[in-house]
Amino acid sequence: EAGVTQFPSHSVIEKGQTVTLRCDPISGHDNLYWYRRVMGKEIKFLLHFVKESKQDESGMPNNRFLAERTGGTYSTLKVQPAELEDSGVYFCASSQSQGLNTDTQYFGPGTRLTVL
Amino acid sequence: ELKVEQNPLFLSMQEGKNYTIYCNYSTTSDRLYWYRQDPGKSLESLFVLLSNGAVKQEGRLMASLDTKARLSTLHITAAVHDLSATYFCAVEVYGQNFVFGPGTRLSVLP
């Protein structure tokens, strides 16, 4: 079974540009999570999708970040315009169902974003 | 390529018992992290281990790091139901990689 995949693995952009990160969860997983780890700091939760709906977006830092999950399959996280402090590693995780024994989150490899 | 393994992946234990979760990694690292994830919730940071021989304790949990063996352990003492969760280790090679283990699902039974 394929795991959670993320694309690209690395992205280097200039301040003010736009970047779109993609996450493909494990097939059949309704829950999709985005996390961010800024260098030297702890991982922070960004948001949680259940299928195509945003269940919790309390961790989104500001309105420069836009996440979508059209059709409840893959998700994109767009940063527009990117700022220097957005640099870090963005992780995606998915889980099958909430409230059951299938809610273990499986993490993707992350996308390393560098804003110059 | 940095790989992180955890053992066991699933663990059921009775209240009051002790147990250890193991985290092995494949290359030299700078930091090792332990996280807890409750069902339906995001990660909660437990420990950060920075050097060989580091030991940290919080309540019934104690984490240690052996960088020579590339092994970290999370020891649970006298487990209680509230400790039921999934525990992840993550390994950092500074500026290069940050890789999660697969997680250990812990169920503490009354």
Q: How many distinct structural domains can be found in chain A? A: 1
- pLDDT on residue B71: 96
Out of B42, B95, B103, whose CB is closest to A104? B103
Report, as an integer, the average pLDDT of A71-78: 94
Q: What is the CATH number of domain B4-105?
A: 2.60.40.10
CA triple B65-B68-B31, angle to 5 deg: 45
Residues of B in contact with A110 (CB under 8 A): 98
Report, as an integer, the average pLDDT of A83-89: 93
| Mutate which: B100, B106, B107, vs A, most A CBs within 10 A | B100
- Judged against a pLDDT cut of 70, whether residue A19 lies above it is answered with yes
Minimum mean pLDDT range among A7-21, A38-52, B4-18, B72-86:
A38-52
Q: Strands B104-109 and B10-14: what pairing?
A: parallel
Q: Strands B4-7 and B19-25: what pairing?
A: antiparallel
pLDDT by residue (tens digit) across B8-48?
999 999 999 999 999 999 988 878 999 998 876 667 889 98
Structure tokens given for A109: 């490899």
- pLDDT on residue A102: 47
**Domain map of chain B by residue range?**
4-105
| CATH code assigned at A108 | 2.60.40.10
Out of B39, B95, B100, whose CB is closest to A107? B100
A90 reaches B (C-beta below 8 A): no
Strand, coil or helix: B81: helix
Q: Which of residues 64 through 83 in chain A touch B, CB cutoff 8 A?
A: none
- Domain range enclosing A30: 5-97+104-115
Backbone angles phi, psi at B71, to 5 degrees: -140, 135
What is the Cα–Cα distance from A76 to A72, expressed in whole angstroms?
Answer: 11
Burial class (CB in 10 A: 0-12, 13-18, 19+), B42: buried
Contacts of A10 (CB under 8 A, 6+ apart): A111, A112, A114
Minimum mean pLDDT range among A50-64, A90-104, B17-31:
A90-104
The verdict on a CB contact (< 8 Å) between B39 and A109 is no
What is the Cα–Cα distance from B3 to B26, expressed in whole angstroms?
Answer: 5
CA distances (Å), origin B31, targets A41, A97, B37, B91: 12, 32, 20, 6
Out of A37, A59, A105, whose CB is closest to B37? A105
